[in-house]
Structure 1
Amino acid sequence: MKIFIDGHDYQYEMESLVRMFFHGKSLPVQQGVPDVENDYIYTKAIRHANSTELMVTVKLGGELKNANDTVQNDLQEYNAECERVFAVMLYRILTPMTGIQLKWGVLTGIRPVKFVHRFHEQGLSDEEIRRILTEKYLVSQQKINLMMETARREAQVLRLSKPNSYSLYISIPFCPTRCLYCSFVSHSIEKTKKLMPEYVELLIREIEYTAEVLRSIDGLQLETIYFGGGTPTSLTAEQLRQVMDAVNRCFDCSSVREYTVEAGRPDTITEEKLCVLKEYGATRISINPQTMNDSVLNAIGRKHTTQQTIDAFWLARKTGHTNINMDLIAGLPTDTVESFRSTLDEVIKLNPENITLHTLSVKRAATLADEAEEVYRAQSATVTQMLEYASQSFHAAAYHPYYLYRQKNTVDNMENVGYCKEGCEGLYNVYIMDETHSIVALGAGAVSKLKEPNGELINRVFNYKYPYEYISRFDEILARKNKIAEFYATHPFECK
């Protein structure tokens, strides 16, 4: 099966949608007319004087289907409409041919809730937005309900951000082991332990230098701080203390609304580390079991146990942590609907303030990548049941969706959703997903996203990915931080 593109450049949208009908399998794309002997998807655009003719032909397993439509050339959002019309035609052809019905319709982007915010900004009512999502984007009522509720709760958080707001991200790219499904740039402690002292030393220098750059920009206000990874608690208690002390010493934290540290793996969490997090200002932490089934944990390469998760949770409560998030994944290899239900029930019983539910997405460089299609096929029938049970259980336990995003190649093309108790929304999560304001990111693999105040422009400033690169090319990383001041010099904000 190949995808052929003829007379247009909407390749990315076509490829993204088609992949969802073939269990995340990447299909070759080429320009031109197809070889009629083999299975293919052919999309063609012919631009006339006043309108553009769009045509789709699909040959699959000896069956041939066609569709065509037109788009007026004078439409303000001409390209977006061409993409949408192509996508709708593909959807209507591929759904009966493959037997796969996508609950997200033709939406393929990472941030579906942005559609709702954009339509609200245009003055559309909830009823009008629902009709557009149903009729034009073919989204199921279940997912529309999720989008609308998430958008409503997101809006409350977004109003807290101002043009001069920014958030700070600190990368700790180390993990005890690498999960089977993950290709994230994090390195096992056993292989990189010798790098950690120098990494921490240089990270503190980057914190100090970046804070100096930001102080030169009059009026910037720090809203949230987020320690991610990796597993930040892979560091020793003393190393955590040094890094957090540097943040408190160098940045004005008086305006910080939220300070999150991903404690992450339960087997890295100690009472001493939890006390350090509390002492230096963390207001929110994550303890991430992914599953509460020990055999599934073993299958995905996580070396902690369910009991360690429970112990870490109560240890966090004992040391004064009153806002805890727990991450779970639906669709893990060897997991079943019954096992997932048990996991969810057990986590809800602990009563954390946040539960973030991810759908399994196998990264291309992950250990599991070679078996990804097999995993998707095996789990696609169960993931929908898992998510439906989760939605009902969260509602019954007074958890509400507050942020939502999608990834490529998730099982059954499903989503990741952050749920919270009333008033416990994770602010940083909303800001980074909505691209609300600048995120200044420090450490290996970190990417700063500089957002134009009162605009949509985003400039990215990249750090080197791997700890050894970060260490060996550190002077270049510091030099790049000057781009932050340059950005705000050309994109100023009004201080109020």
Structure 2
Amino acid sequence: MKRGIIHLYKIGILFENREFEHDVYELIKAFYPEAEIHTLYEDEEAEYDLRFRVERDNDSYLIRYERDENKGVISAAVIRDEKIRDSHKLRKENKDSIKYALYQLLVKLTGRTLPWGNLTGIRPAKLAMGMIESGMKNTEAAQEMREKYLVSPQKTALAITIANREREILKDIDYENGYSLYIGIPFCPSICLYCSFSSYPLKVWEKRTDEYVESLCREVRETARMMKGRKLDTIYIGGGTPTTLLPHQIRKLLDTVGESFGYEGLAEFTIEAGRPDSITREKLQAIQEYPVTRISVNPQTMNQETLDIIGRRHTVAQTKEAFYLARELGYDNINMDLIVGLPGEDISMVGRTLEQVRELAPDSMTVHSLAVKRAARLNIFKEKYQEMSFENNQEIMDLTMKTAYEMGMGPYYLYRQKNMKGNFENVGYAKVDKAGIYNILIMEEKQPIIALGAGGSSKLVFDHGNRIERVENVKDVSNYISRIDEMIQRKQTAISTWL
């Protein structure tokens, strides 16, 4: 039986004024996540189910729409407040103005609201923290989030709660002179269906992992010289899957980090052990020889049928074995990552995962809403997977929060990504004193994050947190190895210029 032709809802956005093009596009995409959206810069005769035209006159931004026989226009005032001297602040006020008006129009056209209101490309907890740090009371910050950004009361409360916990956790971190270190291991036992990270299958690359570690150690040594005189607060080794490295490679890397940066005075040292099928007693024992304070054992789901679909290639039993092994060896701060919205999973399946995680009793749990990015195979091979259902809703998010609270965990960090199923969020929950400090620092952009390894993206935060510059390493492993001198020089130039 042949599959019928599915008509994708087509939207055209004609930008006669391109001032806030990205923000307009992203907000429309949030309301119509499955639509095919075309960005236009001149009028054309093509057929669209819905058309928008973005214009501006002296006093207003105008957004016209046309759907079938229905036409209309909304306007947003152009703000010219002479009291606002800062051009960035004035731009932000105008962006907020057009997004507020566009959101009201989209609610009218779709008959629904979004849990995070008109916030796109913004970290909600960072926004809430900025308001509180400016002197607002919690009630005042909450009111602004609800009224100016149209965030639901439930999500407003979540953002304010997390912002306050983050402030408490970070109170002893030196933003001005401190920094954090990220070290990336880009190999995985297999590549998950939804993954868009810089990850490479270990079987293809295992003969070159020694070369990679050698190049990485070189970058570690050189970067330590560049950062001399600054305070290293946290180290996070992620990936990929760090435990794809063999025990002797783990020791070589951690010896080099210790010799180059030193481990004294760290607030946190995390290794994302990650995939259960890469975790062995020998690797965990190697890690134990160093002052690592926190690890992750990441199942994503405890439903075997889903693990098979998404290409995890490990079993639920292996997840439990890896977790209990880490506990047996004395690890007392273990995180588990879960994803909701995976193909075919409904609330009962999410509940099954949560019950099994509850039995393991990790110290923290990060709940991710599935975000399908452009690079993921789930997007590349859309036709193959289009018959799968992807379910995420407030009921599922509420269940994850309820379970976390019952496990003695509270929310401590929050971030959102593009293309999230249900327009929800990722939330980290942790027991008292078990929160991941690095996770907060990378999201709140309070201090520089220096990233090493293939695909590493350093954030250089300076000018009292008001400016951020990025410096990127190449993603391809072969290029990283052959161009390691160039990667080091990029860092040297950026750090000497901005820090």
Query: Which TM bucket (shorter chain)?
Result: over 0.9
Query: Matches of residues 83-98 of structure 1 in structure 2 within 5 Å?
Result: 83-98=95-110
Change (3 A) 1:460 1:68: closer
The CA deviation at 1:61 is 4.3
Letter aligned with residue 114 of structure 2: L
Match of 1:111 among 105, 123, 129: 123
Match of 1:55 among 62, 70, 75: 62
Change (3 A) 1:441 1:37: closer
Deviation string 1:110-139 (CA, Å, 9 cap, x unpaired) is 411121122123322212212111111111
- For the pair 1:41 / 2:48, whether they are aligned, the reply is no
The CA deviation at 1:157 is 2.3
Distance 1:373 1:222 in 2: 47
Is 2:129–2:160's contact at 8 Å kept on the other side of the alignment? Answer: no
Change (3 A) 1:46 1:374: farther
Change (3 A) 1:7 1:175: same
Partner of 1:79: 91
The CA deviation at 1:184 is 1.2
Partner of 1:431: 441
Is 1:150–1:401's contact at 8 Å kept on the other side of the alignment? Answer: yes
Deviation string 1:49-104 (CA, Å, 9 cap, x unpaired) is xxx21222222344323222323312623322222222222222222322442110
Q: Secondary structure at the match of 1:412?
A: helix
Distance 2:391 2:320 in 1: 30
Distance 1:395 1:376 in 2: 35
Match of 1:150 among 162, 174, 177: 162
Distance 2:433 2:164 in 1: 13
Q: Secondary structure at the match of 1:14?
A: helix
- For the pair 1:170 / 2:178, whether they are aligned, the reply is no
Distance 2:129 2:44 in 1: 40
Change (3 A) 1:376 1:418: farther
Partner of 1:494: none
- Count of residue correspondences: 482
TM-score, length basis structure 2: 0.92
Partner of 2:337: 327
Q: Secondary structure at the match of 1:28?
A: strand
Unaligned runs of 5+ in 2: 1-10
Distance 1:7 1:189 in 2: 48
Partner of 1:337: 347
Of 303-312 and 393-402, deviating more is 393-402
The CA deviation at 1:483 is 2.4
Partner of 2:153: 141
The CA deviation at 1:370 is 4.3
Deviation string 1:322-371 (CA, Å, 9 cap, x unpaired) is 10000000000011210101101211221111100000011212111046
Distance 2:130 2:386 in 1: 33
CA RMSD for the aligned pairs? Answer: 2.1
Partner of 1:210: 223
Distance 2:117 2:431 in 1: 29
Is 1:107–1:137's contact at 8 Å kept on the other side of the alignment? Answer: yes
Distance 1:344 1:250 in 2: 41
Q: Secondary structure at the match of 1:27?
A: strand
Deviation string 1:306-330 (CA, Å, 9 cap, x unpaired) is 1100110010011111100000000
Distance 2:292 2:34 in 1: 38
Q: Secondary structure at the match of 2:238?
A: strand
- For the pair 1:299 / 2:306, whether they are aligned, the reply is no
- For the pair 1:191 / 2:204, whether they are aligned, the reply is yes
Partner of 2:297: 287
Deviation string 1:204-241 (CA, Å, 9 cap, x unpaired) is 111112112222xx3x0110000010000011111111
Is 2:368–2:425's contact at 8 Å kept on the other side of the alignment? Answer: yes
Match of 1:66 among 66, 70, 73: 73
Is 1:224–1:257's contact at 8 Å kept on the other side of the alignment? Answer: yes
Is 1:24–1:409's contact at 8 Å kept on the other side of the alignment? Answer: no
Unaligned runs of 5+ in 1: 492-496
Partner of 2:173: 161
Change (3 A) 1:146 1:168: same
Partner of 1:179: 192
The CA deviation at 1:266 is 0.1
Is 2:339–2:367's contact at 8 Å kept on the other side of the alignment? Answer: yes
Q: Secondary structure at the match of 1:408?
A: coil
Is 2:342–2:390's contact at 8 Å kept on the other side of the alignment? Answer: no
- For the pair 1:442 / 2:452, whether they are aligned, the reply is yes
The CA deviation at 1:448 is 1.6
Sequence identity percentage: 40
- For the pair 1:128 / 2:140, whether they are aligned, the reply is yes
Distance 1:138 1:375 in 2: 34
Is 2:447–2:465's contact at 8 Å kept on the other side of the alignment? Answer: no
Distance 2:242 2:68 in 1: 50
The CA deviation at 1:195 is 1.4
Distance 1:37 1:428 in 2: 48
Distance 1:357 1:376 in 2: 24
Letter aligned with residue 189 of structure 1: L
Change (3 A) 1:315 1:145: same
Change (3 A) 1:144 1:282: same
Distance 2:391 2:265 in 1: 47
Partner of 1:277: 287
